[in-house]
Structure 1
Amino acid sequence: MTIDKNYRDLVEKLTEISRLNGIMSTLSWDQEVMMPSGASEARARQISTLAGIIHERTTDPQLGTCLAAIQKEGFGSLNTLMACNIREAQRNFDLETKVPKRLAMEMAELSSSAHSVWIAARKENKFSSFSPVLKHFLELKKEWAQCVFPDLNPYDANIDNFERGTTMAEITPIFELLKKELIPFIRIIQESEHQPANSFLQGSFPIDKQEALARKISQDIGFEFNQGRMDVSVHPFCGGGHPTDVRITTRYDESNFIESLYAVIHETGHGLYEQGRMLQERDLPASESLTMGIHESQSLFWERMIGQSKFFCAHYFETIRTVFPQNLHGISADSFYQAINICKPDFIRVQADELTYPLHIILRYEIEKGLFDGSMNVDDLPEIWNEMMMQYLGIKPPTDTLGVLQDSHWSGGAFGYFPSYTLGAIYACQFYKTMQNELPDTEKNIEVGNFIPIKAWLNQKIHSQGRLYTPQELVQRITGEVLNPNHFISYLKKKYTAIYQLS
């Protein structure tokens, strides 16, 4: 066999796996958005069966034989995309073949059934109902880590699942620096004499108007609704089975339109990444998004760096005031900008401002570390959570629903995911700073609602690059330096010093 024949065989197998994963993603989206509640048990079995089929395909000995033959021939006649597909396929094959089918199916079924358990526990404010699931998932994820990365710390192995090549050794110093800089700065802000007004953001905001506004802004930014859709879910997310089928969700509160609007902008950022993937080979690994940190950088880029900027507010304020005239009567665009950027510690991570948000992530990161190294027990988590909230943000959640039960991640076994949010914020700030240097009219473009150059820059620099580079290589190529949290800290201090009129 020639390498061309082996590569064609490989592409055929990888394409089938990609399409099966697309079906899995669509089933998971349906479970959270449209599925009848009484179907949860049947759906769990369906997902478990499909996971078993996918595992069979990804561990097929013929796939291994094909890869071995290609490796033997060498990469000399392959282009960059082909080499990337082979490299990614080999890595995934090596990882998947180390996981017993029984374990893959058990994790998939638990992930599906645990979601319903989490929803019920959250609704009933009863962590004890969820704790057995969490314990079971920890056991399975430790077993998984031992299978795939026996030489790594189990938590590092789980982090690698979302942030390839990143470990606690890199994350911990960054997070310690953020704690050192942000905790005292937040306290100074809380003591400032100038506290922006935001009462006008509370009131009655009809959901149909919220939805229309959110859809308009998402479309203005560049989300293509002929290749995507927007729905409602308990927890906002971006899903779908293909770059031509991208599905974003939000949740609505009639008394607060800001939460749903910025959730849509956030998820639109994720959606633009998926829709902006390279046009060729979209069913192959080379075209896939890189890591969750890079993905999160795109959602935070649009939500924080652009959506919460004074230029974005200047452009959209009249539109927003037209939609909600009674609520925003007599309010200026600058007052609106300050109001949506108020720094106020909150119990809920997804409602946190960009200054306090990193502390929510650090709390979860440190708890996950403790769960994996045995220094923390699952049954003690409500108390541990509340103590850390007091230490970092000076507030104590009155219920588990507002505390340890608020996130869906652990119900899916997504340990090691949380650091991606703050790593993404650091990436976003670094990318934005570089874009401003390369596109000096960026702020003017935002103020007039011209997002085309921004989207094109992101498409070219990030979205279309797929997995051609590691995250470390990508950030170096784009910004000329490694991940640097000092840009993020400087950005936050400059912005909030102005808002709170600090000396």
Structure 2
Amino acid sequence: MTAPTPGPDGPPPEGPLADLLAVLREAAALKTAADVLAWDEQTYLPPRGGEFRADQLAALAGLTHDRLTGPELRDALLAAEAEVRPADSAAAACVQEARRDFDRRTTLPRRLVEELSRVTTLAQQNWAEARKRSDFAAFRPHLEAVVTLKREEAAAVAAGREDLAAAAPYDALLDDYEPGAKSDQVSAVFAELRAGLVPLVAAISEAGVTPDRSLLTRNYPVAAQYEFCRSGAERLGFRFDSGRLDTAAHPFCTTLGPADCRLTTRYHPNDFSQSYFGVLHEAGHGIYEQNLPAEWFGAPLGEACGLGVHESQSRLWENFVGRSRSYWEHAAPEARAFFPEALGKASAEELYRAVNDVRPTLIRVEADEVTYNLHVLLRFELEQPLISGDLPAGDVCDAWDEKFEAMFGFRPPSAADGCLQDIHWAAGLIGYFPTYALGNVYAAMLWDAALAELGDLEGQLAAGNFTPLRDWLTEKVYRHGRRYAPTDLIARAAGSPPTPAPLLAHLNAKYGALYGLG
């Protein structure tokens, strides 16, 4: 018997596939309960509540792991595998991805899963305080504990996966965020990016053109920033009837249910762009989450297609839309209304040029489009020896400063401006960083395809009409969940396999015009 094709291409599932979905949704309920506690930890948890919160999250991680590796899911998966055909259907893809997840999770003992949850929870709390004080020494033992556990995770996954047995240890972690990717493949893409970016950065620095960034460094009341950020997210299509915007030490987006997506940002009273572009970035993630098939929440068809594709959405909405001239033609009047003293006389063109200033900066999340990928390359080049053991975790601060100086020409003045600026390592998200640059590559390809198919896209954005682009992305990306592998999804949407060429072409054309390059 052939099961009906589920999702947007057919009726709801039934039989063994429905049974599998029921087990996955139950496990998702447990996981998202933990995610609520993790969100609260980053936003509202009292300082003294941290230790017990780590115990709570570890307990829930263990229970979720049991559900996702237990006999009920195994049996449901076997029954669905015996039933679902054909190989190219959405149903078959759902079962295939569920099998992939099951096999990976069963390589990990519950003890390791619980300990990773507990240690990373405490590490994130320590990181927030260490970053405030720029105190790497205080964070060092937490980082060492996280790296030790991530090495153990990488070894366990590789031992249970034939395709990873002979690969670099780092690949077992990278595969969790960008399925199927290998570090040597990513290195080749990054080498091409570096070869194109370094001369462009040099040409811009030598052009003698200096946009007026003073627009961004005036008095911007935080309350007005919140309203402007919220309006920007709504403009793009983020739905606040199923979402929130709060404050955290490091901006993030998390989904706590099929109609519950949370964004966070951080504010600087003398620079609205930090919070604003942080929100546009996280709203890009949120729009993806809010347009996944809700009826498949908890199952692969209701989940995003890898972190590279996810980051393509945050970077597309933040940069290709939010830093475009067309966007500021629409958004400038609202910006002036929210900040009349700071921007009362600022034109759309002045705002466009200010938010596209290119210069080496210390902080990744505040970097411009051109230099941003160099920040990612730095982290990628540190993470691999961290996991292989060639770079002791205690030496990462010095290694960071040396590599940063080699790439950008100056050293971070403090650990807060260097290796403590990101929360990812504290959270155990080693292997995540490469997806930011891959996301930029994917975003450029999707943008070019949308331009070709949507007609006057620039005119639509200038008129404040973001619906055609959002609908196009829903059709090409969001609605498929994990039906396709990331590279296959991008190839289907953009018409060719992933390549850095469109990104480099976009950056050269845009910033060549802004900086008067030949």
TM normalised by structure 2 equals 0.94
Q: Tell me if structure 2 keeps the 8 A contact 1:347–1:395.
A: no
CA distance in 2, matches of 1:391, 1:223: 39
Q: Are the counterparts in 2 of residues 183 and 392 from structure 1 also a CA contact under 8 Å?
A: no
The match for 1:86 is 95
Q: Cα RMSD over matched residues?
A: 1.7
Query: How do 1:78-477 residues align onto structure 2 when only pairs under 5 Å count?
Result: 80-150=89-159, 151=165, 152-477=167-492
User: Counterpart of 1:66 in structure 2: which amino acid?
Assistant: A
C-alpha contact (below 8 Å) 2:216/2:271 kept by paired residues: yes
Counterparts of 1:402 and 1:389 in 2: how far apart (Å)?
A: 11
Question: What is the one-letter code of the residue matched to 2:113?
Answer: A
Shift of the alpha carbon at 1:279? Answer: 4.0
Q: Corresponding residue for 1:26?
A: 36
Say if 1:345 and 1:395, in contact at 8 Å, map to a contact too.
no
Tell me which amino acid in the other structure corresponds to 2:486. P
8 Å contact kept, 1:196–1:500: no
Match of residue 8 from structure 2: none
Q: Which amino acid aligns with 2:393?
A: V
Alignment match of 2:54 (pick from 44, 53, 57): 44
The Cα offsets for residues 190-237 of structure 1, whole Å up to 9 and x where unpaired, read as 122221111122111111111111111211211111111111111111
In 1, Cα distance between equivalents of 2:337 and 2:387: 51
1:469 alignment partner, SS class: coil
In structure 2, what is the Cα distance between the partners aligned to 1:69 and 1:203?
62
More off after superposition, 169-178 vs 329-338? 329-338
Tell me the SS of whatever aligns to 1:149.
Answer: helix
8 Å CA contact 2:144–2:394 kept in 1: the answer is: no
Residues 215 and 64 of structure 1: is their aligned pair in 2 closer, same or farther, counting only changes over 3 Å? same
Matched with 1:64 is 74
Q: Deviation per CA, 1:316-336, whole angstroms, max 9, x where unpaired?
A: 112211222222244321121
Contact kept? 2:120, 2:428, Cα under 8 Å: yes
SS at match of 1:240: strand
Aligned partner letter, 2:351: F
SS at match of 2:208: coil
What secondary structure sits across from 1:239 in the alignment? strand
For residues 58 and 91 of structure 1, the distance between their equivalents in structure 2, rounded to whole angstroms, comes to 12
Find the aligned partners of 2:2 and 2:443 in 1 and give their Cα distance: 44
Partner of 2:23: 13
Deviates more, 1:354-363 or 1:58-67: 58-67
Partner SS for 1:246: strand
Contact 1:133/1:411, CA 8 A, preserved across alignment: yes
**Aligned partner of 2:63 among 42, 53, 56:** 53
Percent of paired sites with the same residue: 36
Deviation at 1:79, TM superposition (A): 9.0
CA contact (8 A) 1:265 1:303 kept: yes
User: Are the equivalent residues in 1 in contact too, given 2:98–2:299 (CA < 8 A)?
Assistant: no
* Secondary structure of 1:475 counterpart: helix
Deviation at 1:92, TM superposition (A): 1.5
Structure 2: how far apart are the matches of 1:216 and 1:119?
28
Q: Which amino acid aligns with 1:448?
A: A
Assess, with a 3 A threshold, how the Cα gap between structure 1 residues 70 and 450 changes in structure 2: closer, same or farther.
closer
SS class of match (2:244): strand
1:203 counterpart letter in structure 2 = R
Whole-angstrom CA distance in 2 between matches of 1:245 and 1:82:
25
Q: Decide whether the 8 Å contact of 1:348 with 1:402 is kept in 2.
A: yes
Give the letter aligned to residue 432 of structure 2. Y
What CA distance in whole angstroms lies between the structure 2 residues aligned with 1:136 and 1:36?
24
Does the 8 Å CA contact 1:356/1:393 hold for their aligned counterparts? no
Deviates more, 1:191-200 or 1:369-378: 369-378
Cα distance change on mapping 1:207 and 1:94 into 2, 3 Å: same
CA contact (8 A) 2:2 2:85 kept: no
- Give the whole-Å Cα distance in 1 for the aligned partners of 2:171 and 2:221: 45
Deviation at 1:184, TM superposition (A): 2.4
In structure 1, how many angstroms separate the alpha carbons of the residues matched to 2:45 and 2:306? 29
Partner in structure 1 of residue 6 of structure 2: none
> What is the correspondence of 1:479-498 to structure 2 with a 5 Å cutoff?
479-498=494-513
* Structure 1: gaps of 5 or more residues: none
Q: Does the CA-based 8 Å contact 1:141-1:413 persist in structure 2?
A: yes
Any stretches of 5+ residues in structure 2 without a counterpart?
4-13, 160-164
- In the superposition, relative to structure 1, how do residues 44 and 323 fare at CA in structure 2: closer, same or farther (>3 Å)? same
- How many Å apart are 1:68 and its aligned residue? 2.6
Give a deviation string over 1:393-432, Cα, whole Å, max 9, x none.
1121100011011110000111110001010011011100
**TM-score when scaled to structure 1?**
0.96
SS state at 2:177 partner: coil
Of 358-367 and 166-175, more deviation after overlay is shown by 166-175
Report the number of matched residues: 502
Deviation at 1:140, TM superposition (A): 1.2
| Superimposed CA distance per residue, residues 167-191 of structure 1 (whole angstroms, 9 cap, x where no aligned partner) | 1121101111222221222122112
Report SS of the residue matched to 1:182.
helix
Q: CA deviation at 1:85?
A: 2.7
Inter-partner Cα distance in structure 2 for 1:435 and 1:5? 38
Structure 2 Cα separation of the partners of residues 429 and 228 of structure 1: 27
Deviation at 1:5, TM superposition (A): 4.6
Instruction: Give the Cα separation in 1 of the matches to 2:298 and 2:291.
Output: 14
